[in-house]
């Protein structure tokens, strides 16, 4: 089984590497990092470059496609090599998935029309504007479309996807393999639990429009 994860300039590296690590734990699964060109693709911070080992053209029929988020997402909200490839491979995928603001790319490409999905907490209103029903869940499956909340949520989505493609035992083996027994030192990982002042400050600094009052 082939899983393609798309990379693009200014992606969020954990969005891509979380699902990569989980799914590459599964026997018989080949995870291919793809991009418009071969070679290093630089993340949003400029400090991490991950190599694409295949171009989009070289991966025409992946069983699963996953698109990460990141500030560079804004460059792929209209037809172009990445969204065009997503639409093309979606014709034959078993699962089409987005992490964080990568979900906006799927939505803008028309792949999530009238579906339920989740995305980065600051991008929910943007997702609604794109004709998708936003849900406040860690990950959402609607038909063959899998979507996750921000960045680290791609790990949870990938484990849920692992169960669907390889069974619960294989998914649990992957979880134990990466010792995913999370114990964050704070409970600030969602706008529902983080200090209100922090949520307000993040909203004010966000590149997404605030919700209507």
SS3 content of the chain, % helix, strand, coil (to 5): 40, 20, 40
Residues contacting 121, CB < 8 A, separation 6+? 149, 150, 190, 191
Rounded CA separation 33/56 (Å):
9
Least Å from the CB of residue 79 to a second copy: 29
Least Å from the CB of residue 203 to a second copy: 11
Please name which of 180, 138, 144, 176 lies closest in space to residue 157, comparing C-alpha atoms: 138
Judged by CB under 8 A, does residue 106 bind a second copy? Answer: no
3-state secondary structure of 175: helix
Judged by CB under 8 A, does residue 40 bind a second copy? Answer: yes
Judged by CB under 8 A, does residue 169 bind a second copy? Answer: yes
Tokens 């090599």 correspond to 81
Active site residues: 100
Judged by CB under 8 A, does residue 193 bind a second copy? Answer: yes
Interface stretch with a second copy, choices 44-52, 78-86, 105-113, 127-135 (CB under 8 A): 44-52
Here's the x/- map for a second copy, 76-105, by CB under 8 A: it reads as ------------------------x-----
Strands 139-142 and 145-148: antiparallel
**Alpha helix ranges (H) inside the chain:** 13-23, 81-90, 102-108, 124-129, 153-166, 168-177, 196-205
# binding residues, a second copy (CB under 8 A): 62
Which residue among 114, 184, 196, 212 contacts a second copy (CB under 8 A)?
A: 184
Judged by CB under 8 A, does residue 166 bind a second copy? Answer: no
CB of 100 or CB of 106, closer to a second copy: 100
Which residue among 131, 195, 200, 210 contacts a second copy (CB under 8 A)?
A: 195
CA angle centred on 153, ends 152 and 156, rounded to 5°? 115
- Summarize as ranges the residues that interact with a second copy (CB under 8 A): 12-14, 17-18, 20-21, 24, 30-33, 40, 45, 47-51, 53, 100, 120-121, 138, 149-153, 155-156, 159-160, 163, 168-169, 171-173, 175-186, 188-191, 193-195, 198-199, 201-202
């Amino acid at each position: 089984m082939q899983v393609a994860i798309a990379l693009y300039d200014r992606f969020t590296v954990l969005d891509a590497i979380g699902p990569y690590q989980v799914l590459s734990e599964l026997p018989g699964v080949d995870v291919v990092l793809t991009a418009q060109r071969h070679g290093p693709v630089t993340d949003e911070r400029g400090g991490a470059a991950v190599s694409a080992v295949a171009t989009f053209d070289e991966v025409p029929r992946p069983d699963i496609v996953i698109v990460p988020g990141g500030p560079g997402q804004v460059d792929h909200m209209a037809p172009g090599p990445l969204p065009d490839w997503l639409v093309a491979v979606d014709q034959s995928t078993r699962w089409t998935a987005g992490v964080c603001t990568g979900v906006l790319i799927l939505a803008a490409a028309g792949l999530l029309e009238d579906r339920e999905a989740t995305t980065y907490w600051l991008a929910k209103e943007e997702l609604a504007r794109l004709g998708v029903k936003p849900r406040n869940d860690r990950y959402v499956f609607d038909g063959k479309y899998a979507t996750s909340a921000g960045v680290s949520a791609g790990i949870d989505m990938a484990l849920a996807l692992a169960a669907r493609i390889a069974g619960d035992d294989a998914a649990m083996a992957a979880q134990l393999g990466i010792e995913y027994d999370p114990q964050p030192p704070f409970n600030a990982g969602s706008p529902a639990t983080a200090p209100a002042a922090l949520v307000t400050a993040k909203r004010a600094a966000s590149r997404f429009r605030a919700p209507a009052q």
